[in-house]
Amino acid sequence: MALLHNRVSQAELKRLLYEEKEHRTTISFYKYFPISAPQAFRDQLYQGLDQLKVFGRIYIAHEGINAQISVPDSRVDDFTHYINSIEPLKGVRLNVAVDSTNPTGEESIHGKSFWVLKIKVRDKIVADGIQDPEFSMENRGKYVSAEQMNQLMLDNNTIVIDMRNHYEYEVGHFVKAIEIPSDTFREQLPMAVEMMKDNKDKNIIMYCTGGIRCEKASAYMLHHGFNNVFHLEGGIINYAKQAKEKGLDSQFKGKNFVFDDRLGERITDEVIAKCHQCGSPADTHTNCKNDGCHLLFIQCSACAQKMDGCCSVDCQKIFNLPIEAQKELRKGIDKGRMVFNKSKQRLRPRLDEINKPLE
């Protein structure tokens, strides 16, 4: 029987990945469609993708599929053929990453955004918190292309809503886009309805990274009585591609946050965020190098060098201890969701430490 999961350590897999000589292409795709037996679908998909040396993170649920993967360049055509051989996925939009650079901007990463194939069965492909049995994805907003997006944004009757998290919005967003100031998508949905309750007849365009969140959000808004709801087809990734191909003026400014090793892909040259330590212009997300922390925050190159890639003086001290001493200090630590929330002026869980003066 074919092995349906990985048994090699993460460290070894990452080492093997970076020893690969072949370039990889980072691809994302999703589709809402009914899956009666998610586990069986998952196992079938794992066997097919594993044979093609595909790495990445894929979620399967009764409501559909959500995938972020990397494919060896020599296997891209085979991968496309395989995906199209699965009837519900035939013709699904494959979003190719805008760039394949790593967080430091080095080109040598060659599309190596993932180093293992993980396919998990979940209750939802996007955690939405929706309990209403009357809610349906069959009634969703209208797709808009990059050109249509730009055109609608010229209309004063149009409101643009960003359906991403605060740390995604911080480094890049559409001009005049409204941020829903929350930490999770499940919190954003009711907040968006409440914030827009007096604008039910206006044009509301919702967008996200690749389209999966804003498509569900558009259905949620229609479910709550909004009339003219749109969502950006293929999200920011597809918008950037279309804008480049058609020579459009990009109304998205800055960097697009992505959930892989790169942590971001450059859309325009504007740097709209600031280093969370010194306040200078910066939009490079990083995880604190202290293995007992791994806080996600923005750090400029000067602070990265000064702080050894750490978020605080305390973490820097721990990072420079012998490995065994670090392991001892990490015992019993629950890091939780370690994200610096600039929009709410709080650090989870240590704002005071990150704001200590750099010595």
For residues 282 and 285, give the distance between their C-alpha atoms in angstroms, rounded to a whole number: 9
| Domain contains 250 | no
| Domain contains 322 | yes
| Domain contains 31 | yes
For residues 163 and 211, give the distance between their C-alpha atoms in angstroms, rounded to a whole number: 10
Question: Could you identify the residue written with the tokens 């969703």?
Answer: 140
Q: What's the pLDDT at 343? A: 39
- The verdict on 228 and 173 lying in the same domain is yes
- The verdict on 96 and 158 lying in the same domain is no
CATH number (domain holding residue 165)? 3.40.250.10
Q: Is the pLDDT of residue 139 over 70?
A: yes
pLDDT in tens, 182-195: 878 999 999 999 99
Provide the percentage of residues in the chain whose pLDDT is more than 70. Answer: 82
For the chain, how many structural domains are there in total? 3
Range of weakest confidence among 6-15, 83-92, 136-145 = 6-15
Q: What's the pLDDT at 346? A: 36
Measured N-to-C along each axis, helices 185-195 and 212-223 cross at an angle, to the nearest 10 degrees, of 40
Instruction: Say if residues 252 and 170 touch (Cβ distance below 8 Å).
Output: no
Task: State the average pLDDT over residues 84-95.
Answer: 94
Per DSSP, 281 falls in state B
pLDDT in tens, 303-330: 999 999 999 999 999 999 998 888 888 7
Q: What's the pLDDT at 11? A: 57
Range of weakest confidence among 9-13, 68-72, 181-185 = 9-13
| Domain contains 37 | yes
| Domain contains 133 | no
Task: State the average pLDDT over residues 209-216.
Answer: 92
Domain end point (choices 60, 88, 121):
121
- The verdict on 46 and 76 lying in the same domain is yes
Q: What's the pLDDT at 195? A: 95
Mean pLDDT of the chain: 85
Q: What is the pTM of this model?
A: 0.77
Q: Are strands 55-61 and 64-72 parallel, antiparallel or unpaired?
A: antiparallel
Catalytic one of 208, 214, 293, 300: 208
Instruction: Say if residues 174 and 276 touch (Cβ distance below 8 Å).
Output: no
- Annotation says 214 is catalytic: no
Q: 66: pLDDT confidence band, cut at 50, 70 and 90?
A: very high
| Domain contains 263 | no
For residues 157 and 259, give the distance between their C-alpha atoms in angstroms, rounded to a whole number: 33
Q: What's the pLDDT at 245? A: 94
- The verdict on 213 and 149 lying in the same domain is yes
Q: 338: pLDDT confidence band, cut at 50, 70 and 90?
A: low
Q: What's the pLDDT at 350? A: 36
- The verdict on 147 and 97 lying in the same domain is no
Phi-psi region of 235 (alpha: psi -120 to 50; beta: other; left: phi over 0): left
Total number of residues shown for the chain: 359
| Domain contains 306 | yes
Q: Are strands 228-232 and 203-207 parallel, antiparallel or unpaired?
A: parallel
| Domain contains 294 | yes
pLDDT in tens, 214-268: 999 999 999 999 999 999 999 999 999 999 999 999 999 999 998 777 788 899 9
Domain span including residue 40: 10-121
DSSP characters over 145-163:
-HHHHHHHHTSTTEEEEE-
